[in-house]
């Protein structure tokens, strides 16, 4: 069972998310919070698999909460999906920099949100198509050398290139005729080498490094 915490200052939004999640056989709501400080307290108490975090909350907003999570060794492993009605570049890029594993909009289809929870709980990244386009456009611009690319093996570069396409480990494994465990191993090693805390950050690295899939 995937345990989820909901963090949003609007009661109706949390209610809608709770109903949606509880309808799924493999998902359950482990806690709720209406402020950033409450979110941190709930996370320390229940240690969920995934946090759905609203960007705009009064006082300590979602981005500040995300920074606090990343700075706390006890919470740094929390998988966070940012949920918002605002698709603004600075939100996207700051969220990725501070370790968000996913970014979806509140008007996303219900199955898109539940899929995001499952994908992120499995240790992968989930960005909505429009967000992915923004990431690619932003980080494809010239912006200085990318450090760490020389530390990757040829196979690791190949798999990071596939990661930037949004494919899951299982999909990459089928494309390369290897096991999903092998892909996970290469992804994990690449993340350590380039200092990417999340798969989403590995996507940003791969795009900035210009890694592309050769077909």
Q: Does residue 98 sit in the same domain as residue 158?
A: no
Give me the pLDDT at residue 107, please. 78
The answer to whether 209 touches 146, Cβ cutoff 8 Å, is yes
Considering the domain boundaries, does residue 213 fall inside one?
Answer: no
Considering the domain boundaries, does residue 154 fall inside one?
Answer: yes
Calpha distance 173→35 (Å, rounded): 40
Q: Does residue 92 sit in the same domain as residue 170?
A: no
Q: Does residue 103 sit in the same domain as residue 161?
A: no
Q: Does residue 72 sit in the same domain as residue 168?
A: no
Considering the domain boundaries, does residue 15 fall inside one?
Answer: yes
The torsion angles phi and psi of 82, rounded to 5 degrees, stand at -80, 130
> Can you give the residue range of the structural domain that contains 195?
143-208
- Which of 2, 29, 3, 30 shows the shortest CA–CA distance to 16? 29
Calpha distance 95→10 (Å, rounded): 21
Calpha distance 196→98 (Å, rounded): 10
Q: What is the DSSP string of 42-70?
A: HHHHH--SEEEEES--SSS-HHHHHHHHH
The position carrying tokens 């999640």 is 21
Report which DSSP code applies to 28.
Answer: E
Calpha distance 203→166 (Å, rounded): 8
Considering the domain boundaries, does residue 215 fall inside one?
Answer: no
> pLDDT tens digits, residue range 173-188?
999 999 999 999 999 9
Q: Does residue 127 sit in the same domain as residue 195?
A: no
Considering the domain boundaries, does residue 120 fall inside one?
Answer: yes
Calpha distance 82→146 (Å, rounded): 26
Calpha distance 84→87 (Å, rounded): 7
Q: Does residue 173 sit in the same domain as residue 95?
A: no
Considering the domain boundaries, does residue 214 fall inside one?
Answer: no
Q: Does residue 122 sit in the same domain as residue 178?
A: no
Single residue among 137, 155, 184 that ends a domain in this structure:
137
Q: Does residue 151 sit in the same domain as residue 122?
A: no
Count of domains for the chain:
2
Report which DSSP code applies to 108.
Answer: S
Q: What is the DSSP string of 68-117?
A: HHHH-TTTTT-EEEEEES---HHHHHHHHHTT--EEEETTS-HHHHHHHH
Q: Does residue 15 sit in the same domain as residue 119?
A: yes
Q: Does residue 127 sit in the same domain as residue 202?
A: no
Give me the pLDDT at residue 79, please. 92
R_g (Cα) of the chain, nearest Å: 17
Give me the pLDDT at residue 31, please. 97
The position carrying tokens 């006890």 is 74
Q: Which ranges of the chain have pLDDT less than 70?
A: 86-90, 126-145, 215
């Amino acid at each position: 069972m995937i345990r989820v915490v909901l963090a949003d200052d609007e009661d109706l939004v949390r209610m809608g998310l709770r109903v949606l999640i509880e309808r799924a056989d493999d998902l359950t709501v482990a806690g709720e919070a209406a402020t950033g400080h409450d979110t941190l307290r709930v996370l320390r108490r229940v240690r969920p698999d995934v946090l759905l975090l609203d960007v705009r909350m009064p006082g300590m907003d979602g981005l500040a909460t995300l920074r606090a999570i990343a700075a706390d060794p006890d919470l740094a492993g929390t998988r966070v999906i940012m949920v918002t009605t605002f698709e603004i570049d600075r939100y996207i890029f700051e969220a990725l920099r501070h370790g968000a594993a996913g970014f979806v909009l509140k008007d996303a289809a219900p199955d898109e949100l539940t899929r995001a929870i499952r994908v992120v709980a499995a240790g992968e990244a989930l960005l909505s198509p429009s967000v992915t386009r923004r990431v690619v456009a932003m980080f494809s611009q010239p912006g200085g050398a990318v450090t760490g690319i020389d530390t990757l093996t040829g196979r690791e570069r190949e798999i990071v290139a596939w990661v930037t396409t949004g494919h899951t480990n299982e999909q990459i494994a089928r494309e390369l005729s290897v096991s999903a465990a092998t892909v996970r191993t290469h992804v994990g090693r690449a993340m350590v080498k380039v200092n990417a805390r999340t798969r989403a950050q590995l996507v940003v690295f791969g795009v900035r490094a210009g890694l592309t899939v050769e077909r």
